[in-house]
Amino acid sequence: MEEILVWIVDDDEDYCELIKEVIIDDYRVQVFNEAYSYREALESTTPDLVLMDINLPDISGIELCQELTASGKDTAVIFVSGMNTLEERLRAYDVSAVDFIAKPFELKELVAKVQAVASYQAKKRSLVQAETMSRNMAFQSMTESSQYGAVLQFFRQCFLCHDYQSLADAFFDLMQQLNLNTCLEIRDAEVHYFAPSHGEISPIEANILELLDKHGRLFDFGSRTICNDKHVSFLIKNMPLDDEVLYGRLRDIIAVIVEGLEARVLDIGRQQTLKHVFMEIQGLLGNISGAILEHDEKFSAALTGMTAEIRTSFHVLDMTEEQEDYFASMVERNLKEANSAGEAFYRLQGSLNTVKNVVESSVS
């Protein structure tokens, strides 16, 4: 009970000293012999229990109890009065006093009632603390759920990002929900810097990111934390160092976020590579198609001309009919072989089209 603060408000100094001596071993006790000093102390301190005389010389104890109730302070009042009447007890009840002790009284009675009320106040305070703790834990759980939900939404949004800027925008939306002020660096063949609202990062921030991108997954300096992966780094400029629980939870969250960013940056890089391969194959197919068409036109014209010349020259060569048939069949046979060689180009073109379609489906 040593944490219980008991005030004695009575103009009888001897009575106050007696009561103080009786209960001082179990409670913290303070004595007031007039209303003024009591009111002044009440502005900065809240007692757990007040033993108050109803008939004070400068003001009624009833009025002081009304003021105490109106102030909203959680203080129990036990009235002590020499007027042991029903009317007096009803007045005490009306102003929310918890008990009434009539003078003269046995010290054992006073001690027992003070102990009962003090125990009630201690239990009530413990319940209030437990309720506050439960409420704080509930709010903390709600906050954690909200934060983890935001992270999951960010990961879903990442799959819709096909370039670094849209990925950075999704990242900054998440950081805003976490109340974190950040800037972002993405590294591929070049280094790309991003700030919220498509702003510019300061030269010193770019320099810090460059200098610390090899200092481990998480690196703290002051109220700032840099989070690194192979191709991604981001700088948090307002880590909540004064809240150890929130600080620890945010460190866990950003360690997961950087892994998600790293994976998506690699995916975007692969998509861009596939897109480049697709464009190269598409260009190559165009070139092959043009070359085949040109080849077919020239080859067909050459063969037609050659066939016509051979057939018109048979009478000049004075060949027998059997020789003419043999020579003509030889020419036709070689023409078929030449056509089959041309078909190989078409098969190559078909294979490249198949590769192009596969790459196109991977890019889209």
pLDDT digits (tens, 9 = 90+) for 213-253: 787 888 888 888 999 999 999 999 998 888 888 888 888 88
pLDDT(172) > 90: yes
User: Which distant-in-sequence residues (6+ apart) come within 8 Å of 338 by Cβ?
Assistant: 299, 303
Give the start-to-end residue ranges of the domains of the chain. 5-128, 138-268, 271-363
pLDDT digits (tens, 9 = 90+) for 312-329: 665 666 666 676 667 667
Find the mean pLDDT for residues 205-212: 88
Cα–Cα distance, 111 to 120 (Å, whole number): 14
Of the ranges 22-26, 275-279, 284-288, which is most confident?
22-26
Which pLDDT does position 99 carry in this prediction? 87
Q: For the whole prediction, is pTM greater than 0.95?
A: no
On the CB side of 155, CA atoms within 13 Å amount to 13
Which pLDDT does position 96 carry in this prediction? 79
Place of tokens 């073109």: 349
Instruction: Name the more confident of 306 and 113.
Output: 113
3-state secondary structure of 7: strand
- Residue 234: beta bridge partners? 184, 227
Find the mean pLDDT for residues 54-67: 86
3-state secondary structure of 49: strand
pLDDT(117) > 90: no
Q: Are 261 and 175 in contact (CB under 8 A)?
A: no
pLDDT(277) > 50: yes
pLDDT(63) > 70: yes
Range name among 6-15, 96-105, 193-202, 279-288 with the lowest pLDDT average = 279-288
Query: Residue 18 gets which letter from DSSP?
Result: H
Work out whether strand 28-32 and strand 5-9 pair parallel, antiparallel, or are unpaired: parallel
Instruction: Name the more confident of 354 and 149.
Output: 149
Cα–Cα distance, 7 to 126 (Å, whole number): 21
- Residue 191: beta bridge partners? 187
- Residue 76: beta bridge partners? 49
Cite the DSSP H helix spans in the chain.
13-23, 35-42, 61-71, 86-94, 107-158, 164-177, 203-212, 244-312, 314-317, 321-363
Which pLDDT does position 80 carry in this prediction? 87
Which pLDDT does position 278 carry in this prediction? 66
Instruction: Please say whether the structural domain 5-128 has been given the CATH code 3.40.50.2300.
Output: yes
Residue 196: Cβ-neighbour burial (10 angstroms; 0-12, 13-18, 19+) = middle
Which pLDDT does position 181 carry in this prediction? 92
Which pLDDT does position 242 carry in this prediction? 83
Going by C-alpha positions, the residue among 272, 273, 269 that lies closest to residue 232 is 269
pLDDT(362) > 80: no
Find the mean pLDDT for residues 95-106: 85
Cα–Cα distance, 199 to 190 (Å, whole number): 19
Q: Are 165 and 270 in contact (CB under 8 A)?
A: no
pLDDT digits (tens, 9 = 90+) for 82-96: 877 788 888 888 887
For residue 185, give the H/E element and its range.
Answer: strand 182-187
pLDDT(341) > 60: no
Instruction: Name the more confident of 199 and 185.
Output: 185
Token output for 111: 């001690």
pLDDT digits (tens, 9 = 90+) for 4-39: 899 999 988 888 899 999 999 889 999 998 888 899
CB burial of 122-141 (b: ≥16 within 10 Å; e: otherwise) equals eeeeeeeeeeeeeeeeeeee
pLDDT digits (tens, 9 = 90+) for 46-60: 899 999 988 888 788
- Amino acid identity of 325? D
Residue 104: cis peptide before it, omega within 30 degrees of 0? yes
Fold of 138-268: Beta-Lactamase (3.30.450)
Cα–Cα distance, 81 to 11 (Å, whole number): 12
Token output for 63: 């009025």
Going by C-alpha positions, the residue among 105, 109, 118, 110 that lies closest to residue 49 is 118
Find the mean pLDDT for residues 256-285: 82
Which pLDDT does position 248 carry in this prediction? 85
Q: Predicted confidence band at 279 (pLDDT cuts at 50, 70, 90)?
A: confident
pLDDT(1) > 60: no
User: Which distant-in-sequence residues (6+ apart) come within 8 Å of 223 by Cβ?
Assistant: 237, 238, 239, 241
On the CB side of 328, CA atoms within 13 Å amount to 12
Q: Predicted confidence band at 165 (pLDDT cuts at 50, 70, 90)?
A: very high
User: Which distant-in-sequence residues (6+ apart) come within 8 Å of 345 by Cβ?
Assistant: 288, 291, 292, 295
Instruction: Name the more confident of 343 and 155.
Output: 155
- Mean residue pLDDT of the chain comes to 81
For residue 31, give the H/E element and its range.
Answer: strand 28-32
